[in-house]
A and B are shown apart, each in its own frame.
Chain A
Amino acid sequence: MKKIYPNKEVCIGCHLCEVACVTAHSKTKDTILAHNVEKAQEGLAPRRNVAQDGPICVALSCRHCEEPMCVAACISGALTKNPETGRCEYNEEQCVGCWSCLMACPFGSIRRHPFKEKIVKCDMCAGRDTPACVEACPNAGLVFEDRGKD
Chain B
Amino acid sequence: MPNRIGVYVCHCGTNIAGKVDSQGVAEFASSLPGVVVSRDYKFMCSDPGQDMIIEDIKNHGVNRVVVASCSPRLHEKTFQKACARAGLNPFHFQMTCIREHVSWVTRDPVEATRKAKHLVAAAVARVHWHEDLYSRKERVHPDVMVVGGGIAGIQAALDVARSGHRVHLVERAPSIGGHMAQFDKTFPTLDCAACISTPKMVAVAQDPNIHLLTWSEVTKVEGFVGNYTVTVHKKPRYVDEERCTGCGMCLEKCPTKVVSEFEEGLTTRRAIYRNSPQSVPSFPVIDPDHCRTLTGKKCGACQKICPSGAIDYEQTAQDFELEVGSIILATGFDTLDPTPMAQYGYGRYPEVYTSLQFERMNNAVGPTGGRILMKNGQPPQSVAILHCIGSRDVNYHEYCSRVCCMYALKYDHLIKDKVGHKAKVYNFYIDLRCFGKGYEEFLRRVQEEDVTFIRGRPAEVVQEDGKLVVVAEDTLSATPVRVPVDMVVLCTAMQPRADAGETARVFGISQGQDGFFLEEHPKLGPVSTATDGIFLAGTCQAPRDIPDAVAHASGAAAQALAMAARGTVEISPTVSSIDPDICTGCRACVGLCAYSAIEFDARRGVAVVNEAMCKGCGSCAGHCPSGAARVRHFNGRQVFAELEGLLDALPPAPAAQTQASPETPAAKA
Q: Do A and B come from one complex?
A: no
